[in-house]
Amino acid sequence: MKEAGDRRPVTEARDPAFTPAPGAPAIAAAATTNEDGQWTMPAKDFASSRYSGLTEITTDNVRNLKLAFTFSTSVLRGHEGAPLVVGSTMYVVTPFPNILYALDLENAGALKWKYEPKPEAAAQGVACCDVVNRGAAYGDGKIVFNTLDDHTIAVDTTGKLVWDTKLGDINLGETMTMAPLIAKGKVFVGNSGGEMGVRGWLTALDLGNGKIAWRAFSTGPDKEVLIGARFNPHYASDRGKDLGVTTWPGDAWKIGGGTVWGWISYDPALDLLYYGTGNPGPWNPHQRPGDNKWTSGIFARDPDDGEAVWFYQWNPHDVHDYDGINEQILLDVASNGGTRNVLVRPERNGYVYVLDRRTGEILSATPYGYITSSKGVDLESGRLVIADDKVPQIAKVVENICPAAPGMKDWQPSAYSPRTGFVYLPHQNLCMDWEALEANYIAGTPYVGANVKMYAGPGGNRGVMSAWDVANRREAWAIPERFPVWSGTLVTAGDVVFYGTMEGWFKAVHARTGQVLWQFKTGSGIIGQPITYRGPDGKQYVAILSGVGGWSGAVVAGNLDTRDSTIALGFANAMKDLPRHTTKGGMLYVFSL
């Protein structure tokens, strides 16, 4: 397998006034809660820390972790979800057909009930990248989740439907795969399908009755983006009237992408929601000159009325398919004798950004892997500096674009420990080549596309599990993995980090050193999100969904032919050997001492 070439240095950008004090920054106090042993939202708390205060499992005893129970989901596609634990019940939502299971934790995970929304089968045909679901959320006696065919559904704790709201239409290429966030009596959800000409949005629903409270589009006129008097972005290029229209040619914004399929955080103290937008599509970059607002960026909004407060664009006029939808971790960092309220964002373009979450100002942007596609971030303008020779062009061979289209890190969420000050970063080490034109065929119509091939970056490993030191803005330790680390991570007060590999190993590592302390081979590759909870018996448990798939694992979950290197949008080339290492499956594994 081909490897990427010489490393070229990409330097950090940092505001000189931002000088984090030594030690571990705190999780934003208002956005987290005291440990209650439950896990009621995929990110654990509004700050998206994925940090558990449970301490029974430690670096000393984790080697004794044993299987407590398992549960088969009966679904064989990619399991990207996080189980929830509310009281003595666990809730698991599967990939399409999006079955919600309730498991009795008093009784070794015995099935209490299941709710089957029966989404339209045609939704599979239009979903971009496997038919995943990233989890449910719990609030006020309801479990809320999205279906691939664009319904947001609330079910009560007995399995009875409370409400079901249809938010989009699969017949137009629109799907939903993200996990909702519940805050202030509202449910916040977004759509997927930017490649299909879908116009992205975030929608707020009333948690009580499912009625739509507001919808904020990611492209179009200010009144549809919910940009008004309160909007005060930090950088000049984000100021101006109707930029969601004027930074596009003609009416290209109407099918401009910017879908909202990733993570949402919430700061109750500032009363702001934070979430990212997907890349612009389906136009090729040379068809859409301009910044293509408000794609591939991050919004801060008022949760009550959706009004935008600030915006920052990671990738103005994205040319690399770098969706801007990753998680943002809300921290309070001691700096210069004061405290900065920040959000930490490991972005798909290869930088860990630290933004002032009050204003959207960049405090630092530091590379966390091998980057050739850009040369750094200009602090004056806030703009990413693109490497012109790595801009993909039709009919030209452009080699060694790093990171590849899935980015340095895709949707898979990281975790943060306030004990170590490290962000635990599951990510990729992939580069790509754009090659000659090739003829293809869809809906009866011949067309011409690029031949994209992805392959391992420097070192030859396609994945990395690393610890990122927030205060010192550098890698503390890293574990190379054969395949992209496509699972989420979890870190505990026992200083144990959990993650899974696409071969199916579920690993516990030392949060301070990265030493592997324990591992267990599950039945299929892992792309799910680990969680931990205190069971009804008072013991600490750790749970993970095994079941390979997603964009990276489509070669297994979708039975793709690995002889064709361009399928799965070029990702298959980098995953040719995955079928030798894992097979399909959908199984919950729960462990305890």
Look-up: residue for tokens 């095994």? Answer: 546
Contact map string, positions 182 to 211, toward another protein, x by CB under 8 A: -------------xxx--------------
Contact segment (CB under 8 A) with another protein among 117-125, 147-155, 407-415, 484-492 equals 117-125
Nearest residue (CB) to another protein, 86 versus 554? 554
Shortest Å, Cβ 90 to another protein: 26
Is the CB of residue 206 less than 8 Å from the CB of residue 185?
yes
* Residue 11: burial class (beta carbons within 10 Å; 0-12, 13-18, 19+): exposed
Under rule CB under 8 A, residue 452 binds another protein: yes
Active-site residue (options: 195, 323, 332, 347): 195
Question: Structure tokens of 454?
Answer: 């992805």
Q: Pick the binder of another protein from 434, 499, 541, 571 (CB under 8 A).
A: 434
Contacts of 195 (CB under 8 A, 6+ apart): 128, 173, 257, 281, 282
Under rule CB under 8 A, residue 169 binds another protein: yes
Report how far residue 263's alpha carbon sits from residue 346's, in angstroms, rounded to the nearest whole number.
Answer: 12
Under rule CB under 8 A, residue 289 binds another protein: yes
Q: Pick the binder of another protein from 55, 64, 171, 472 (CB under 8 A).
A: 171
Q: Pick the binder of another protein from 440, 472, 513, 515 (CB under 8 A).
A: 440
- Residue 262 in 3-state DSSP? coil
Nearest residue (CB) to another protein, 282 versus 458? 282
Q: Pick the binder of another protein from 11, 209, 287, 336 (CB under 8 A).
A: 287
Q: Pick the binder of another protein from 3, 156, 564, 577 (CB under 8 A).
A: 564
Active-site residue (options: 279, 292, 341, 573): 279
Question: Structure tokens of 73?
Answer: 């989901």
Strand spans (E) along 406-515: 415-417, 422-428, 430-442, 445-456, 463-469, 474-481, 490-492, 496-500, 505-510
User: Do β-strands 51-52 and 490-492 pair in parallel, antiparallel, or remain unpaired?
Assistant: parallel
Which residues inside 371-400 make contact with another protein, applying CB under 8 A? 392, 394-395
195 is catalytic: yes
Q: Pick the binder of another protein from 569, 572, 574, 590 (CB under 8 A).
A: 569
Under rule CB under 8 A, residue 111 binds another protein: no
Which 8-state DSSP code applies to residue 42?
Answer: T
Report how far residue 492's alpha carbon sits from residue 581's, in angstroms, rounded to the nearest whole number.
Answer: 29
279 is catalytic: yes
Which residues inside 323-382 make contact with another protein, applying CB under 8 A? none
Q: Pick the binder of another protein from 252, 342, 362, 497 (CB under 8 A).
A: 252
My answer on whether omega of the bond before 113 falls inside 30° of 0, hence cis, is: no
Report how far residue 470's alpha carbon sits from residue 57's, in angstroms, rounded to the nearest whole number.
Answer: 25
Is the CB of residue 499 less than 8 Å from the CB of residue 516?
no
Nearest residue (CB) to another protein, 434 versus 498? 434
Under rule CB under 8 A, residue 405 binds another protein: yes
Nearest residue (CB) to another protein, 123 versus 226? 123
Under rule CB under 8 A, residue 236 binds another protein: no
Question: What is the residue-wise DSSP string for 342-368?
Answer: EEEEE-TTSEEEEEETTT--EEEEEE-
Shortest Å, Cβ 533 to another protein: 32
104 is catalytic: no
Contact segment (CB under 8 A) with another protein among 31-39, 206-214, 235-243, 441-449 equals 441-449
Instruction: For residue 37, give Cα distances in angstroms to 2, 56, 483, 533.
Output: 46, 11, 32, 5
Under rule CB under 8 A, residue 550 binds another protein: no
**Cα dihedral sign, 394-282-188-169:** negative
Under rule CB under 8 A, residue 517 binds another protein: no
Active-site residue (options: 291, 321, 361, 433): 321
Under rule CB under 8 A, residue 255 binds another protein: yes
- Residue 194 in 3-state DSSP? helix
Nearest residue (CB) to another protein, 259 versus 364? 259
Contact segment (CB under 8 A) with another protein among 30-38, 355-363, 440-448, 455-463 equals 440-448
Print the SS3 string covering 56-125.
Answer: CCCCCCHHHCEEEEEEECCCCCCCCCCCEEECCEEEEECCCCCCEEEEEHHHCCEEEEEECCCCCCCHHH
Report how far residue 577's alpha carbon sits from residue 574's, in angstroms, rounded to the nearest whole number.
Answer: 8
Is the CB of residue 298 less than 8 Å from the CB of residue 345?
yes
Nearest residue (CB) to another protein, 157 versus 451? 451
Report how far residue 149's alpha carbon sits from residue 119's, in angstroms, rounded to the nearest whole number.
Answer: 6
Nearest residue (CB) to another protein, 39 versus 261? 261
With CB under 8 A, what is the number of residues at the site for another protein? 54
Instruction: For residue 59, give Cα distances in angstroms to 313, 342, 414, 467, 498.
Output: 40, 30, 20, 16, 11
Shortest Å, Cβ 103 to another protein: 24
Under rule CB under 8 A, residue 538 binds another protein: no
Nearest residue (CB) to another protein, 124 versus 335? 124
Report how far residue 545's alpha carbon sits from residue 512's, in angstroms, rounded to the nearest whole number.
Answer: 25
Q: Pick the binder of another protein from 286, 474, 521, 580 (CB under 8 A).
A: 286
Under rule CB under 8 A, residue 17 binds another protein: no
Under rule CB under 8 A, residue 124 binds another protein: yes
Nearest residue (CB) to another protein, 287 versus 513? 287
User: What residues make contact with another protein under the rule CB under 8 A?
Assistant: 76, 121-122, 124-126, 169-173, 195-197, 249-252, 255, 281-284, 286-289, 321, 392, 394-395, 405, 434, 437, 439-450, 452, 558-561, 564, 567, 569
Please list the active-site residues: 195, 279, 321
